[in-house]
Amino acid sequence: MRGVVGHFRELDSAVEAIEELKQSKLGDLTVFTPTPRHEFEHALHPPKSPVRKYMLFGGLAGCVFGYWIAVWASNYWPLVVGGKAFSSWIPYTIFGFEVFVLVGALSTVAGLFIHAGVPRLTMMVGYDPRFSRGDYGIWVECSPDRLAAAEALLRKHGAVEVRGDR
């Protein structure tokens, strides 16, 4: 399936283009922006990101492990030190916490990678280095018969350049 990608110099024109594209339902949109802008979120209404769940479950797992390794190891070979209980759970909270943070944070990053679809080795079609510099891009993926309409729409909203791609 093919589509067109429009370059926008200005933020507001890109946003307007998106809003109209969404109404006209020409096809799927992918927006490129050098820096995250809330305007796009308002325009696209995407679902909430699920990465926070990774943090939750990864963290809990880590916490459990942190506690467990300390308690198990102290009871595995019981030796009295300083007349303290073999497994003194209070200080072991430190292990619970530290491993909670460790695993939680790492799994968050894992979640980011999974959902953002990185790492990837090839640039996807429609990407242009300028999108990381200052320009906004909108990649409309649609059936060939709608390409013209999409292109027209993009240009109408002031896309400085529109090119087809596949």
Residue 163's SS3 state is strand
Using CB under 8 A, pick the residue from 7, 21, 40, 141 that binds another protein. Answer: 40
User: What does the alpha-carbon distance between residue 149 and residue 39 come to, in Å, rounded to a whole number?
Assistant: 24
Using CB under 8 A, pick the residue from 27, 95, 147, 151 that binds another protein. Answer: 95
Q: Cβ of residue 145: shortest distance to another protein, in angstroms?
A: 26
Q: Residue-wise over 43-65: b if at least 16 C-beta within 10 A, else e?
A: beeeeeeebeebbeebbeebbeb
The residue among 110 and 148 lying less far from another protein, judged by its C-beta, is: 110
Q: Establish if 88 lies at the interface with another protein (CB under 8 A).
A: yes
Q: Cβ of residue 154: shortest distance to another protein, in angstroms?
A: 14
Q: Is the dihedral of CA 71, 77, 81, 85 positive or negative?
A: positive
The residue among 17 and 142 lying less far from another protein, judged by its C-beta, is: 17
Residues 139-158 that bind another protein (CB under 8 A): 158
User: What does the alpha-carbon distance between residue 87 and residue 92 come to, in Å, rounded to a whole number?
Assistant: 8
Residue 53, CA distances (Å) to 86, 104, 119, 152 in order: 35, 10, 20, 41
- Contact track, another protein, 45-84, x by CB under 8 A: -x-xx-xx--x---x------x--xx--xxxxxxxxxxxx
The residue among 26 and 126 lying less far from another protein, judged by its C-beta, is: 126
